[in-house]
Amino acid sequence: MTLQENRHYLLLLWLIVNGLIVFGLVVSWQEGLIMQLVYGDRSRICLIIALLYVIGTVHCASRVLYLSKELNQAADVAQGIAATDRNNAISICDGRLAIGDAEPFPRCVIAQHLIDLADSREGFDETDPAAEKSNLIEALAERLKGAHELGWFAVDILLKLGLVGTIVGFILMLGSIANTASLDVNTMQKVLRQMSSGMGTALFTTLAGLIGSILLGLQYLLLDKGADELLHRIIRVSEIEIKPNLATKGAQ
């Protein structure tokens, strides 16, 4: 049995990844690294990065639950179709898909796609039968992965915020030198402290942006893989299991 054949495998992978992330955060907190990161950032960009990361993680959690549920329902529909006679025609009862006299399948993405595919057979262009199917697949792919575009934009924003913090840190560092009127020992000590503070802001914000974008990007990569797996299951069922049923329905 492969990993994709396990129920809720996507949710389990996401929980493992975030469990490791939480473990790393706890260790960093105990070692004082997080507080050092917060206090060392004079621009407070790290707090904005942390807030965006939390929002992105919450969005990932909702998408993981949705895709995990749809993957399980796709597996159930595939098993139900495989258990029925392929010569049975499909039927639509109250917006639900049924094969022959079997119990209608629950409302889900795969059932809705098969309903749309069956409806398109009633008036498709005989000279180009693959065009309608291609449009349905493209629309389905956009539906499954369209919600992830905002997440990938957030990943890019985290990286850009880290770069903005780098620029702000260098401005703070160079500004301390520009405002220096004399070069006595006390003034130089003050300038060095200000320069180290500006350099800390530059490095800490860059570090926070890089880590946040990598970890959030990893979560959205899991989401894209889950959406691709769901799309693969739907296409496999529609191409291998449903074609005889569609032919029967189209001949009626």
Residue 183 and residue 6: Cα distance in Å, rounded? Answer: 69
The model's pLDDT over 166-225, given as tens digits with 9 standing for 90+, comes to: 998 888 877 766 666 666 667 677 777 777 778 888 889 999 999 999 999 999 999 999
* Site of tokens 């004399």: 182
Indicate the helix (H) or strand (E) that contains 90.
Answer: strand 90-93
As a 3-state breakdown, the chain gives helix, strand, coil percent values, each rounded to 5, of 80, 5, 20
Query: Could you tell me if 214 and 162 are in contact, meaning their C-beta atoms sit under 8 angstroms apart?
Result: no
Query: How many domains, the chain?
Result: 1
Tell me if residue 185 falls in helix, strand or coil: helix
Domain that holds residue 194: 3-251
Residue 107 backbone dihedrals phi, psi, to 5 degrees: -70, 120
Q: What is the pLDDT of residues 17-56, one digit of tens each?
A: 999 999 999 999 999 888 888 888 888 899 999 999 999 9
Q: Which tokens go with 129?
A: 């039968």
Q: Which two tokens stand for residue 68?
A: 């995990």
Q: Tell me, yes or no, if the pTM score tops 0.85.
A: no
Q: Which two tokens stand for residue 115?
A: 């309903």
Q: Is the dihedral of CA 184, 185, 189, 192 positive or negative?
A: positive
Query: What percent of the chain is predicted at pLDDT more than 70?
Result: 73
The per-residue pLDDT for range 51-109, each reduced to its tens digit, is: 999 999 999 999 999 999 988 888 887 777 776 665 566 667 666 776 666 677 777 78
- pLDDT tier at 6, thresholds 50, 70, 90: confident
pLDDT (mean) for 108-112:
78
Please report where in the chains the tokens 């309903």 appear, as a residue: 115
Question: DSSP alpha helices (H): ranges in 5-82?
Answer: 9-30, 33-40, 45-82
